[in-house]
Amino acid sequence: MVLKITYFVHGTTTDNAKHLASGQADVELTELGIKHALMNKAGLPGKKFDVCFCSDLKRAVDTAKLVFEGTIPIVIDKRLREVDYGDFTQKKKDWAILDYISQSYPKGESYKDVEKRILAFLKDAAKKYEHIAIVAHQAPQLAIEVITKNQTWQQAIANDWRKKKAWKPGWDYEVKDL
């Protein structure tokens, strides 16, 4: 069985505007973030989704509603949350995320922890759906890159579109044989 995924990122937040790492802090979209969220609609034509899953954090929920409300069911799933930065939450992101692939952030979690929860989520989704939309954050998308493209975390981080500012309205993935 193949699960198709189209992954959308939430719009710009108040923390993004201040260059802070939100992690699991619940922050608002900015006015620009609302415009960014609506730009995700450009990734919809020609695609038929069974459901939209989103993180339970407000920025993802608000983005999901702006894009999908009234068209398909929106299901909130806590497993799609951003990595827990622990003590680094809402601090200036001046650390190397490569240091936290296997090691947890102080009082937080590691990227391998995120990978485990995303894999569990994907296994559950693959049992019920053929094509899903996901609205979430950086770490869950990197975990999907690792899982679906058989990349290492180092490769996924090095190739992250955010480094090149290469945003687009949705990234497509396929998951087979979970």
pTM of the prediction?
0.95
* H or E stretch at 175: strand 171-176
- Which tokens hold the place of 72? 């398909």
Q: β-pairing, 2-9 with 20-21?
A: unpaired
pLDDT at residue number 14: 95
Q: What is the pLDDT of residues 58-98, one digit of tens each?
A: 999 999 999 999 999 999 999 999 999 999 999 999 999 99
What CATH number is associated with residue 27? 3.40.50.1240
Mean pLDDT value of segment 4-25 = 95
State the CB neighbour count (10 A cutoff) for residue 88.
20
CA distance 134 to 80: 8
Task: Give the domain range for residue 66.
Answer: 2-176
> Which of 6-10, 93-97, 174-178 shows the lowest mean pLDDT across its residues?
174-178
Asked if residue 39 has pLDDT above 80, the reply is yes
CA distance 28 to 57: 9
CA distance 170 to 90: 26
Q: What is the CA radius of gyration of the chain?
A: 15
Q: What is the mean pLDDT of the chain?
A: 96
Say how many domains are in the chain: 1
Q: How far is CA 36 from the centre of its chain?
A: 15
CA distance 153 to 46: 31
pLDDT at residue number 26: 96
Q: What is the pLDDT of residues 95-152, one digit of tens each?
A: 999 999 999 999 999 999 999 999 999 999 999 999 999 999 999 999 999 999 999 9
pLDDT at residue number 43: 83
pLDDT at residue number 1: 77
pLDDT at residue number 38: 94
Does the CA dihedral 53-8-18-110 come out positive or negative? positive
**Amino acid at residue number 66:** L
- Tokens 């992690």, located at residue: 23
122 contact partners, CB below 8 Å, separation of at least 6 = 3, 5, 144, 147, 175, 178
CA distance 147 to 178: 10
